[in-house]
Amino acid sequence: MCISMKKMVISWISNRIRTVEQRISSKCEEIPDLPYDDGAKTLFLYTKGTEGNPPEELKKLLRYMEHSSAENADTQDLRELHEMVTEVKCDRKVGLTYMKAYELEQRLLRQGEKIGLERGEEKKLLGQVIAKVNKGMGVPEIADALEEDEQTIDRLVQIVNRHAPEYDSEKILEEALKEK
């Protein structure tokens, strides 16, 4: 979640700001004119920035960050950084930890998509059941019309009837998902 939030912030900044560096400080949201300085500063670096006049050393760092290669490590500090980066890239534990985090993020994403699809299908079915109940149809007729088994339709009709006459679809859906 943290990685995704950072990506969103960086994406938002990079689409609106063209300078290489942006300094961000804290402020009181409720009272914007209130002087507030807790000393905390955040510096965003934008590797594709076209405006501003950063020091040459920073330009080289940004170039290296974008393309981490020995050719771009042309200062002593960058060569030392490149050695550490190379070491980390070769460290199987780091690679496994990164892959595990990535795989977990992907698994959670797929799980969320699956839950969303199931919820959408259930909501659609409930809407159809509500419409059929309002037309006075019974469980066998509804099951036949919707090509669902009678046991499923009977469960949904009982839930729908408990929520009559308002038929608040969100409340019905929540109850149906709890009983599933």
- Cα–Cα separations (whole angstroms), residue 163 to 95, 146, 155, 175: 53, 21, 13, 10
What pLDDT does 114 receive? Answer: 94
Among 126, 113, 130, smallest CA distance to 173 is for: 126
Number of domains observed in the structure of the chain: 2
Residue type, 28: C
Rounded to 5°, the CA angle 51-68-98 comes to 115
Q: What pLDDT shows up at residue 92?
A: 79
| Residue 85 belongs to some domain of the structure | no
In a domain, 43, yes or no: yes
Helices (H), the chain: 2-16, 56-66, 76-90, 92-134, 139-146, 150-162, 169-179
The reply to whether 25 falls in a domain is: yes
Which pLDDT does position 138 carry in this prediction?
Answer: 95
Q: Which residue has the higher pLDDT, 166 or 156?
A: 156
Q: Is the pLDDT of residue 6 over 80?
A: no
Say what the pLDDT of residue 147 is.
95
- Assess if residue 21 is contained within a domain: yes
In a domain, 163, yes or no: yes
Would the pLDDT of 161 be above 60?
Answer: yes
Q: Which residues of 148-176 are buried (b: 16+ CB within 10 A; e: fewer)?
A: eeeeebebbbebbeeeeeebeeeebbebb
Convert the pLDDT of each residue in 106-129 to its tens digit: 889 999 999 999 999 999 999 999
- Please report whether residue 128 resides in a domain: yes
Answer whether residue 149 is part of any domain.
yes
In a domain, 121, yes or no: yes
- 160: containing domain: 113-179
Domain boundary among 54, 74, 101: 54
What DSSP character marks residue 34?
S
pLDDT confidence of 46, banded at 50, 70, 90?
A: confident
Note the pLDDT of residue 74: 92
- The answer to whether 153 and 139 are in contact (CB under 8 A) is yes
